[in-house]
Structure 1
Amino acid sequence: MEKKLPIGISSFEKIRSEPYYYVDKTPFVAKLVEEGTYYFLSRPRRFGKSLFVDTLKQAFLGRKELFQGLYLEKHWDWSVKYPVIHIDFGGRTLKGEEHLITYILEQLEKNQETLGVSCSKKTQYDSCFEELILKSYEKYKQKVVVLVDEYDKPILDCIEDRETAKAIRDVLKNFYSVLKPLDAYLKFVFLTGVSKFSKVSLFSGLNQLRDITISKEYATICGYTQEELEEVFGEELQDKDLKLIKCWYNGYSWLGEPLYNPFDVLLYLEEKKFHPYWFETGTPSFLIKLLLEKRFYLPELEDLTATDDLIGSFDLDYIEPENLLFQVGYLTIKETIEEEGLILYKLSYPNKEVKISLNRVLFSYFTQLSSERPRLSLKMIEAVRERDFEKMKKVLESLYAGIPHDWFRKNELFRYEGYYASCFYAFLCGSGLEVIPEDITNKGQIDLTVLYRERVYLFEFKVVEGEETEAKALAQLKEKGYHKKYEGSFKEIYLIGIEFSSGGRNIKGYFWEKLN
C-alpha cells in the first residue's frame, strides 16, 4: 500500500493529513530522546523503519500540527526547532564505490538546500558531511539531528560481490566516522538498517551508540501488536478470521510481544485475500546460494539455536546462514535461554507466510522445478488425502529427477542424506502441509512427520551405496517405536521408509506400512 509522495511531502505528513491508518508510535520518540543521543535500530525491510525515521524528523522540526491527538503532542517541547540532516539510502540500488560516493554527495546537496547552508568541500563526501553539521549548528544556534535510513543497503546491494561490498563498506566507514568527534554539536543521531555490520565504524567508532535492535523496551517500536491491530483496524476486521490473520502475518519478535508485519496487514485489508505480500518484495539470491553452499539442513530452520553475538552482528568475511536469516526477517526469536551468563536464542519462522514462501523458493532453487512445483504440490496433497502411496512415490521420483546433474558433478551432494531430506522438507512446507522436522520422541528422532487431519505420516531417509534395497529405513522406524508418540492421538499412523541411490541419485527403495 506504499504510495509515492509529492516532492516536499513527508510520509508521516501524508498519513496525518489524510484518513490513513496510523498506529501511534510517538511514545518511543519521547523515550528515545529522554534516554540518550545515539541509537541504531535493525529491522527487516518494509517494517516501518522509514516511517518512524520521518516521525522523528517532523518532531525535531517542530511541526506540532502533525501530532494532534498523538502522545507526543503533550510530551514534547514544541518551542524548540532543530536543524535535521536526513540521509536515505533506501531509494536507490547502488552498484559500486563511485556510484555510492556520487549518491552520498547528492544526498548532502539536498540537505544543504533544505537547510540553506553551503559547503565549500562539495566533492569530498566525508569533509562535506562534517562541514554541513558544523555550519548548520552555527546558523541555527541549535545542536544538529542526524537521521540515516537504511544505512547498510549499499553493502547489501553488492553482497554477492564480496570485494565490491568491502569497498562500499569502507566508504561508509569513512562517512559515519565523521560523527564521533562532533558530539558537542549533535542533539540526536538515529540510524536504521537491516544488518549490523561489525566492521563499520558506526559500531567500532561510536562507543556511545546504543543498539536497540534486541531491546525488550523497544521491541514494538515498529510493527503492530495484537492490541494495536484490533484497536486501529477493528472496523475492517469485523468479518475477518483473526486466528488465520495471526497465523499468516504475526509472530515477529525482538524479545517482546509478537508483532504483525505492517506491509502485510495493509495489503491484506486492501486485497482481502491471504498472500505473501511482504515476502514477494524481495528474496536475496545470495541467501539461497549460501544455504546450499553451507549444506544447510533445511529442517533445522524450524528450531535453531544461536548466540547473541551470532544474530547481533554481520561480518562480510564470515557470513553464517543463521545470522542472515534472522536479520532479513525469515527467522525470529521464539525463546530466550540464559545459562550461567550465556544467552541463547531459539529461532524459527515467524509465521505461515514466511514458512511456505521461503520453502517454495528453496525447493525451486534446489531442484529447478519452479514451473512444476504447483502441479507436484497438488498431487502430493491428493496422495496424502487419498492415502495413495504409489502416487506419492511418483511425485517424489519427479521431485528428485529435477535436481540438476551439474550439482552432483561439482560436489558430493548425492552422498549427503540431509540434502534429500532438505528437498523433501522444503517441498512439503511449500505445499502448505503441516510438517514436523526432526520430530523428537523418547525413543529417538523421526526425520520428518506430516500431520493431516486424523492421520500421521512418519518418514525416514537412508542413502544406499549398492544396488540392493533392504528396507532399512522402514525397519528403523519400526524398531525404534517412533510411532508410539502418536498412538491414541491419531486414528491412523503410517510409516514410510525411503532409500536413495547414491549412484542413481533418486529413490531406490520405497516401503510403507499402516500400523493401526
Structure 2
Amino acid sequence: MRNLFSGGLKDNKHLSFGFLTGILRVAKESIFSGLNNLKINSVLDMKYSEYFGFTPEEVREIANHYGALDRYEEICTWYDGYRFGNSEIFNPWSVISYFSNQCQPRPFWQATGSNEIIGEILTQADEEITEQLRKLLQGESILIYVDTDVIYPQIKSNPSSIYSFLLVAGYLKVMETQFADSGDFLCEVALPNRKITIVYNKEILQKLDRYIPQSTVISIQKALYTQDLKKLQLLLQTLLQQSVSVYDTYGENFYHGLVLGLCAMMDNRYWIHSNGESGEGRYDIQLMPRLKRDPGILIELKASRKALKGELKALAEKALNQVDEKKYDTEMKKQGVTSVFKYGVAFSGKNVEVAMNSFSTDHS
C-alpha cells in the first residue's frame, strides 16, 4: 500500500492534486513513509464540511424536483442529523435511495458495507462501554473523548476508542464539542436519526447480546407482553443455565444488563428507560408504550448470592411490592397509559423467580 500511494500520489509527476476519502486516517503518516504531509479534514473540522453529503437546501431542492416537498420532514427523521463541522448534513446515498424507492423510507445504508471491525471491538467491550451503548439506543446522549487521529491497530488494543470509530463511521452525531487539554475533543454525542437507530439495533446491539439466541429473545419478549409468567420464568431459567457463566452472575448489575438487553429489542413498540425516577423512587426498567393502546411494563430486579428457592420467591415478591410502594407507575399514569404490567424478578446464580401483577383503568 505504501508503494501504491507513493507511486500514485506522491511521486506521480502527472498529478497535481490527489484526494482520499474514508473513515480512518492513513496510519503511520510521517517523513519516513511513502506518503507524508497529508492535509487531514475530519468530521469535526469546518473546512469542506458542506461537501460530504447533502445540505438541507439541497435536499429541499431534490424533493421539490420530484414533487415530494411535503415529505421533507420524513426525510429529516430518517436521514438527517449528521454534523460535519458546523454543517447539517444528510446521508446522500440514503436520500437518493429514498427517492428511487418511491419515497418509501428504509435503512438503505445498512446494506452498503461490513461492520466486522465494530464486532471485533465489542467482543472486548467492558460493562461500562456496553451500558453507554445501550443508553444511546434509548435516545440518550453521552459525553465522550474523541480522537480523530485514531487508526485501526489502536482500535483493537483500546476498546474505548469504539466511540471515535462510531463517530467517523456515521453511527453517532456530535451535539456539542469542546477542545480538551489532551488534544482530543470532548463531545456530547447521540444517535443521529431513525435509520441509524435501526442499523444500530441490528448491527451493534445484537453483537453485544451475542450469547443470547434470537429465538429466545423473541420468546421472552412475547411472554412479557402476554403475561405468561410460567413461560417467562422457564425461559429466563433456561437462558441462565445454558448461556451464562457462573462467573458472570455476580451482583445485580449483570442481571440488570441482561434483562435490559432482552427488552431493548422491543424499541419499535416501546421507549425503554433504565434507572429513571418515577413516583417516590427509581425503577430498574420501564417500557413506556409508543401507542397508548399497548400496556406499559415495569420491571424491578433483585439479586442474592445464595438464596434458596423459597427465599428467592419471597425476594421476587419484595421486588414486585416495591413497584407499588414506590409508585413507579406514576409517570405512565401521567402519560395516559391505561394498563401496566408489573414484574418482580429475583436472581441467585443461575436461578430465577418471577412475580407479577397488573394495573388497568380500562374497564371496557
Deviations 1:276-325 (A, max 9, x none): 22123234234235335312124322434334445674534423132332
Distance 1:337 1:395, change over 3 A: farther
Residue in 2 that maps onto 1:145: 17
Matched, 1:282 2:117: no
Contact 1:483 1:493 in 2 (8 A): no
Q: 2:298 aligns with which of 454, 458, 463?
A: 458
CA distance in 1, matches of 2:73, 2:232: 32
Residue in 1 that maps onto 2:336: 490
Contact 1:230 1:237 in 2 (8 A): no
SS in structure 2 opposite 1:146? coil
| Equivalent residues in 2 for 1:303-382, closer than 5 Å | 303-310=140-147, 313=150, 315-316=154-155, 317-320=157-160, 321-336=162-177, 344-362=186-204, 364-365=206-207, 366=209, 367-370=211-214, 376=219, 379=222
SS in structure 2 opposite 1:462? strand
Deviations 1:121-178 (A, max 9, x none): xxxxxxxx65x15x559xxxxxx4232233848x8xxxxxxxxxxxxx45x6567574
Residue in 2 that maps onto 1:11: none
CA distance in 2, matches of 1:379, 1:216: 48
Distance 1:177 1:472, change over 3 A: farther
Query: Could you tell me how far 1:476 is from its partner in structure 2?
Result: 3.3
CA distance in 2, matches of 1:497, 1:369: 23
Deviations 1:483-515 (A, max 9, x none): 33343321425252342534336x521423316
SS in structure 2 opposite 1:501? strand
Residue in 2 that maps onto 1:74: none
Contact 2:249 2:349 in 1 (8 A): no
CA distance in 1, matches of 2:329, 2:46: 40
**What is the root-mean-square deviation in Å for CA atoms of aligned residues?**
4.1
Query: Could you tell me how far 1:477 is from its partner in structure 2?
Result: 2.9
Q: 2:64 aligns with which of 234, 252, 272?
A: 234
| Equivalent residues in 2 for 1:464-475, closer than 5 Å | 464-465=304-305, 466=307, 467=309, 468-469=312-313, 470=315, 471-475=317-321
Residue in 2 that maps onto 1:299: 134
Contact 1:255 1:333 in 2 (8 A): no
Q: 2:94 aligns with which of 247, 258, 264?
A: 264
Letter in 2 for 1:300: K
CA distance in 1, matches of 2:359, 2:78: 33
CA distance in 2, matches of 1:361, 1:399: 24
SS in structure 1 opposite 2:164? helix
Deviations 1:1-24 (A, max 9, x none): xxxxxxxxxxxxxxxxxxxxxxxx
Residue in 1 that maps onto 2:245: 408
SS in structure 2 opposite 1:243? helix
Residue in 2 that maps onto 1:389: 227
Contact 1:251 1:260 in 2 (8 A): yes
CA distance in 2, matches of 1:500, 1:259: 47
CA distance in 2, matches of 1:456, 1:403: 26
Contact 1:223 1:262 in 2 (8 A): yes
Q: Which consecutive segments of 4 or more residues in structure 1 shift more than 6 A?
A: 337-343
Deviations 1:200-259 (A, max 9, x none): xxxxxxxxx464521356543322233321212323352874433332222222453543
SS in structure 2 opposite 1:179? coil
Distance 1:473 1:261, change over 3 A: farther
Deviations 1:43-71 (A, max 9, x none): xxxxxxxxxxxxxxxxxxxxxxxxxxxxx
Contact 2:174 2:190 in 1 (8 A): yes
Residue in 1 that maps onto 2:73: 243
Query: Could you tell me how far 1:336 is from its partner in structure 2?
Result: 4.9
Deviations 1:386-405 (A, max 9, x none): xx3228x7468647845794
Matched, 1:253 2:90: no
Contact 1:299 1:425 in 2 (8 A): no
CA distance in 1, matches of 2:159, 2:329: 39
Residue in 2 that maps onto 1:418: 256
| Equivalent residues in 2 for 1:118-197, closer than 5 Å | 130=10, 132=11, 135=13, 144-150=16-22, 152=24, 169-170=27-28, 178-180=35-37
Contact 1:219 1:255 in 2 (8 A): yes
Contact 2:221 2:266 in 1 (8 A): no
Contact 2:63 2:69 in 1 (8 A): no
Distance 1:482 1:330, change over 3 A: same
- The TM-score normalised by the length of structure 2 is 0.72
CA distance in 2, matches of 1:267, 1:217: 27
CA distance in 1, matches of 2:53, 2:239: 39
Deviations 1:86-130 (A, max 9, x none): xxxxxxxxxxxxxx45xx43x655x4xxxxxxxxxxxxxxxxx65
Letter in 1 for 2:107: P
Query: Could you tell me how far 1:265 is from its partner in structure 2?
Result: 1.6
Letter in 1 for 2:213: L
Query: Could you tell me how far 1:339 is from its partner in structure 2?
Result: 11
Query: Could you tell me how far 1:364 is from its partner in structure 2?
Result: 4.1
- Structure 2: gaps (5+ residues): none
Distance 1:500 1:267, change over 3 A: farther
Matched, 1:512 2:354: no
CA distance in 2, matches of 1:280, 1:396: 37
CA distance in 2, matches of 1:229, 1:221: 13
CA distance in 1, matches of 2:355, 2:109: 39
Q: 2:269 aligns with which of 426, 430, 433?
A: 433
SS in structure 2 opposite 1:487? helix
CA distance in 1, matches of 2:249, 2:204: 16
CA distance in 1, matches of 2:172, 2:62: 27
Percent of aligned pairs with the same residue?
17
CA distance in 2, matches of 1:145, 1:214: 23
Matched, 1:503 2:317: no
